Amino acid sequence: MSILAFLAGCGMVVLTTWAVVRRLKVQSVAGVVLAGYIVGFATIVAIALALSVVRSLDRWTLLTAEVVVLAALLGPWLGPATVHRPLRDGLASVRSALGDPVVAILAGAVSVGLVYSAALGVLTPPNDWDSMSYHLARAAFWIQQHAVAYVPETHIVPINAYPPNGEIGLLFTMILSEGDRFVWVVQYTALLATALGTYGISCRIGLGSRAALFGALLFVTTPVVVLQGSSALNDLVVASFLVAATYFLLGDTRHETALGALALALAVGAKFTALVALPLLALVVFGATPRRRWPELGLASLIALGLGSSWLILNLVSTGTLDGGAEEALDQRADRGLRATMARLTRMLVNFADGMRPEWDVFVYVLGAVAFVLLALLLERGRGRGRKAWAFALGIAVVACAPLVVPLVQGGLINGHERLWLALGEHDLAALDPNRNGWPPSSVFSYYGPLGFGLVVGAPLLVVREVRRGRLRRLAVALSAAPLVLAVLMAVAISYDPYRGRFFMVAVALAASTWGVVLRWRWLAWGLMSIATTTLLLAFVHSVEKPAGIRLIDGNSSPGVWGKPREVVQAWLQFGGTSEVLQFFARQPESGRVGLVLEEDDWVYPFFGRTLGREVFFVSVDENLDGLDWLVIRAGGAEQPGPEWELALESSDGWRVFRRSAG
């Protein structure tokens, strides 16, 4: 029944989207599909918020509201469709692009990676840290209270403070399926939408379909991007909205402007980082459009900001601050001094040298280089004669093996950063994140791997060359510099921590719209394709959150998540008390009322149970605990609550679970 309800809900969203998009004057396949994505997500958000006003958000009211919206749109919007030709032309362009062996092989590798990512989503439970502490938890609380609204008595600030649109997507899947089986679909769809937006922007700057598709595929292979595709996080969701907004606002029709404004509103209502990225989008969009369109774009942007800021207004009313007190509670207030800002900037830029630390498996890049050199010589027969063949093969091999030196480059850059600030007498600034000398691939920790590092640094040089020769629009220069621009904005706006790499997804996606320029140099394209496919493999094999358990060269590979019990996979990143408590609750009935005495960053979501059958509340021991069946107190928390409670579990590090005694 839950699967049928989920499929019915998704089906009605698709039909509603089709009823709207089929009448819009969108002239490209990227525009048609992105318009459908934006309209569909906006429909889900609007229905959820409308039902929340009257506290009636549940499975049946959600489905009923979808039926009503679909019925209301079918009549007025039926008529001649305008999307058949763009879809037909787009498919023809993709078929033509796949005629290039480099593009076709990379597309095949990405397709396999996407299938594996979907399998991770379907067959393993979510276990990212932020998903367990607040992303999924807030969606589960909203289902429990039948409204997207503040959760009472929580000490975990993000559950209330952060904008909700990304988690409304999670809520949609959870409320229909009665669990988290399909929460991955939200980020997975956002990954595809972001890549499609990258492709569309590439075409707008003058790249052909082959180069545009190649750049979009390269983006998908970067570690933090592809690993988030099966997660319950929201960074891809925000990136997809911002990339779609950029694509549409670069158009020249009012329908595209309206779609761009809608995408921008969704982004502002999804995460605070969207606000930090707004100057970047303004630079790209206003710099590339005629001045006569600026008033229209400015008005659309202001309307979008107004629509997307409703949660910020709720925060202001409830807490007196637009961010709901998150900056102070989470210690994210940035020192705006010039030196501190420059130190944050240099440290974030250093982190782009992401060697992924796959230990001995880094030599898999050498095996990939050998394989792709041979394949290139076989398929590129026009280059397979005389000295030219040797130069061609050597170029591919050098590029494909470049990731072996990235860890050394990273170490040198970290040392250079530290020495610079020590020489200036700033010991605290020199010690920003001193232990980050390569992380294994992660949906949270990673940046964009050796491929992303090489292209973020090198692609702008090629882009400038092509712009000067009149082959690309000048807009391409701004797009290629997007990561640097966003790094400056991040350094000014927020404090430093090791997990900022995922906030750059929109900037890297915009930059990736220029990466297809490398296709002009065949040896470079083959070498980068070798890096991309090998990185894709290593990212899944060595994933921190969900390792594959496959041994390549390194004999010390982590055990995989496949075949492990749900509670074991959920606690993959946890040790000690939290893991023991989760395993304890996995053996209990999925019903009852659970009181939590927790602090910031503790895990909340698993206490709801696999089917969200338990009710969960934040409490304190000195209040009335009547009606609760369980009480969970973190290590170092309060003493035993009273004689009516009996100790059911005490973990090795002091976590305690109390059960209400039978008497």
pLDDT in tens, 506-544: 999 999 999 999 999 999 999 999 999 999 999 999 999
Is the pLDDT assigned to residue 387 strictly greater than 70?
Answer: no
Average pLDDT over residues 97-105: 93
Name the band, by pLDDT with cuts 50, 70 and 90, for residue 441.
Answer: very high
| Rounded-to-integer distance, Cα 346 and Cα 513, Å | 25
Length of the chain (residues): 663
Average pLDDT over residues 441-446: 92
Q: Are 432 and 347 contacting, i.e. CB atoms less than 8 angstroms apart? A: yes
Question: What SS3 state is found at 612?
Answer: coil
Residue boundaries of the structural domains of the chain: 2-329, 338-541, 566-660
Instruction: Compute CA distances 579 → 124, 591, 651, 653, whole Å.
Output: 17, 20, 9, 11
Please tell me the pTM assigned to this model: 0.95
Which pLDDT score is estimated for 456? Answer: 96
The amino acid that residue 552 corresponds to is: L
**CA proximity to 204, closest of 479, 452, 457, 455:** 479
Which pLDDT score is estimated for 472? Answer: 94
Is the pLDDT assigned to residue 384 strictly greater than 70?
Answer: no
Residue carrying the six token digits 């990736």: 512
| Rounded-to-integer distance, Cα 555 and Cα 566, Å | 26
Average pLDDT over residues 490-515: 94
Q: With b meaning 16 or more CB within 10 Å and e meaning fewer, what string describes 501-516?
A: bbbbbbbbbbbbbbbb
In degrees, rounded to 5, the angle at the alpha carbon of residue 597 between the alpha carbons of residues 592 and 600 is: 120
The amino acid that residue 598 corresponds to is: L
Quick one: tokens of 492?
Answer: 């000014």
Which pLDDT score is estimated for 2? Answer: 84
- The domain defined by 566-660 folds into D-Maltodextrin-Binding Protein; domain 2 (3.40.190)
Is the pLDDT assigned to residue 189 strictly greater than 90?
Answer: yes
Instruction: Compute CA distances 516 → 103, 168, 211, 382, whole Å.
Output: 10, 34, 4, 21
Highest mean pLDDT among 369-383, 393-407, 573-587: 393-407
